[in-house]
Amino acid sequence: MIRFLPLGGADEVGASCFYLNFDGTGILLDCGIHPQKTKIDSLPKFELIQNEPIDFLFISHAHLDHIGALPFLIKKFPYLKIYTTKQTLEIARLTLHNTVRIPNEKLSGTSNELLYDHDDIDLILRSAIEMEYEKALEIIGLRHSNNDSIKVTFYDAGHILGSASILIEYQNRRIFYTGDIKLSPQTIMSGAVLPDKPVDILITESTYAATDSEKVGNIKSEEDKLIKEANRIIHSGGSVLIPVFSLGKMQEVLMFLHNKMKRSKLTEAEIFTGGISRKLAHLYDLNRYLVNRNFEKIKLSEIEQINYFDVVNPDYYKKHPSIVLASSGMMIENTMSNKLMKYWLHHKSFGIFIVGYMDPSTPGYKISNSTQGEEIEIDKKTKVNCSVNRFHFPSHSTREELLEIAEKLKPSRVILIHGEPEGKDWFGHQILKSNQNVKVNSASVGNSIILSSEN
């Protein structure tokens, strides 16, 4: 029997974690935290698998909503074997140490047995095993009830450095888990690779299924729009703030700006970056010939950029037209992008560019929905004097690309995860419209789906 059970990340973006049981072998796909939730609510519901066999964990990529709960999971199931790509492990060595303080603070007082430290993280990551793209691994769990092994293969998901989709083959079934997937190329990442044969079951993300692509325009026109607006602001003596996620979006936007400046499409201006995103950019450089990507000859760390932590007085940005790539991506409190945004709001000639997903609970969401001249509530009532523009620079598949993946892989069952209910509804409906024989499930936490009852 094959059984699928979501522990988190079914109806939302956050705390992705999915359990699969293949005749007694227990496999987990991802173990993320929910960045907008606190304490125990930010973790996947590990208690649902307390009495299940658990042998292996496969991690699709290093965003915290897919890997952030790893230390907690290992506290509960220390014997678990962990597999992921070399690049995801390298990123995790940088980013998971940064989480030691935050989730421990978030969790303190609720579940002391889950607290972890830097040594725990070193130990976990040292024991993890590297997976190469398109190289199958055969596994079998301790309590497996027959002699048929399970085959696992990683495919490049085109989302961020080291990201993977995961194909699991068992007996006569092929199950494909997309992880976070970007089918078409971004500036650096060159687009997802799909298995060349159809699959039976597709477990697919649906982050942008709710976004009407006609309203946001194609990538080329969005790029042109961004460059035009950046030139306008720089020429008028203002500066541009682009809030970015430190992993993925920062590196993509930096490469994009560099290419445009090199070709004289974008007016030369000082570029500011800082924090962990610079270390992550270095990992993109170190791996540039090892992964499938574009512009592999250009090192991100050699692009001229100034550390924003070296700017003592933000009036600097008034005197020197600049482009600042600051994290966090959603401008949450106590981050550089939040601090700069409050300064930016006072200056008419300045502009804020929104290039990523904004959770409705964040300050970034308020900013991205505001217009110049409007009053909004950020700490206190504040007038938005600067311009605010949104540009669609997705690192997830668009809704058309999601459908294209389903059409290419011809599954007889599709399980929708990692998206808001509205988007999942649209996606499920479209799949059924093109083929009524496909079974579509909207995954929900705690509800098992039997994928095969054979044994």
With contacts defined by CB under 5 A, how many residues of the chain interact with Zn ion?
A: 3
What spatial distance separates the first Cα and last Cα of the chain, rounded to whole Å?
5
Candidates 62-70, 110-118, 219-227, 398-406 — which segment interacts with Zn ion by CB under 5 A? 62-70
Candidates 21-29, 44-52, 59-67, 297-305 — which segment interacts with Zn ion by CB under 5 A? 59-67
Query: Which residue, 65 or 252, is less far from Zn ion as judged by CB?
Result: 65
Q: Min. distance of Cβ 305 from Zn ion in angstroms?
A: 24
Q: Min. distance of Cβ 246 from Zn ion in angstroms?
A: 12
Distance CA 68, CA 70 (A): 6
Q: Min. distance of Cβ 418 from Zn ion in angstroms?
A: 6
Query: Which value, to the nearest 10 degrees, does the dihedral of the CA atoms of residues 281, 285, 288, 290 take?
Result: -100
Among 34, 63, 182, 260, binds Zn ion (CB under 5 A): 63
Query: Which residue, 366 or 418, is less far from Zn ion as judged by CB?
Result: 418
Query: Which residue, 227 or 247, is less far from Zn ion as judged by CB?
Result: 247
Candidates 57-65, 120-128, 209-217, 265-273 — which segment interacts with Zn ion by CB under 5 A? 57-65
231-290: which residues touch Zn ion (CB under 5 A)? none
Q: Min. distance of Cβ 35 from Zn ion in angstroms?
A: 10
Query: Which residue, 32 or 238, is less far from Zn ion as judged by CB?
Result: 32
Within 10 angstroms of residue 317's Cβ, the number of other Cβ atoms is 24
Distance CA 335, CA 311 (A): 15
380-399: which residues touch Zn ion (CB under 5 A)? none
Distance CA 114, CA 106 (A): 11
Instruction: Count CA atoms closer than 13 A to 54's CA, side-chain side.
Output: 24
Q: Min. distance of Cβ 325 from Zn ion in angstroms?
A: 18
| Residue 115 CB partners (closer than 8 Å, separation 6+) | 104, 107, 108
Query: What token pair was written down for 271?
Result: 């570029």
Distance CA 247, CA 283 (A): 10
Query: Which residue, 261 or 415, is less far from Zn ion as judged by CB?
Result: 415
Q: Min. distance of Cβ 13 from Zn ion in angstroms?
A: 5
Q: Min. distance of Cβ 107 from Zn ion in angstroms?
A: 21
Among 23, 30, 55, 65, binds Zn ion (CB under 5 A): 65
CA nearest neighbour of 369 among 384, 381, 349: 384
Distance CA 132, CA 365 (A): 37
Query: What token pair was written down for 169?
Result: 């083959």
Q: Min. distance of Cβ 160 from Zn ion in angstroms?
A: 6
Query: Which residue, 65 or 200, is less far from Zn ion as judged by CB?
Result: 65
CA nearest neighbour of 281 among 312, 311, 316, 257: 257
Dihedral sign, Cα of residue 220, residue 222, residue 225, residue 229:
negative
Contact between residue 141 and residue 53 where contact means Cβ atoms under 8 Å apart:
yes
Query: What token pair was written down for 260?
Result: 């445009």
Query: Which residue, 65 or 156, is less far from Zn ion as judged by CB?
Result: 65
30 forms part of the interface with Zn ion (CB under 5 A): no
174-233: which residues touch Zn ion (CB under 5 A)? 180
Distance CA 349, CA 359 (A): 27
Query: Which residue, 181 or 311, is less far from Zn ion as judged by CB?
Result: 181
Whether the ω angle into residue 397 lies within 30 degrees of 0, i.e. cis, is no
Query: Which residue, 207 or 387, is less far from Zn ion as judged by CB?
Result: 207
Strand 173-177 to strand 164-170: parallel, antiparallel, or no bridges (unpaired)?
Answer: antiparallel
Q: Min. distance of Cβ 180 from Zn ion in angstroms?
A: 4
Q: Min. distance of Cβ 132 from Zn ion in angstroms?
A: 20
For Zn ion, what does the binding mask look like between residues 131 and 170, x meaning CB under 5 A?
Answer: ----------------------------------------
Query: Which residue, 65 or 169, is less far from Zn ion as judged by CB?
Result: 65
CA nearest neighbour of 417 among 7, 2, 3: 7
Q: Which residues bind Zn ion (CB under 5 A)?
A: 63, 65, 180
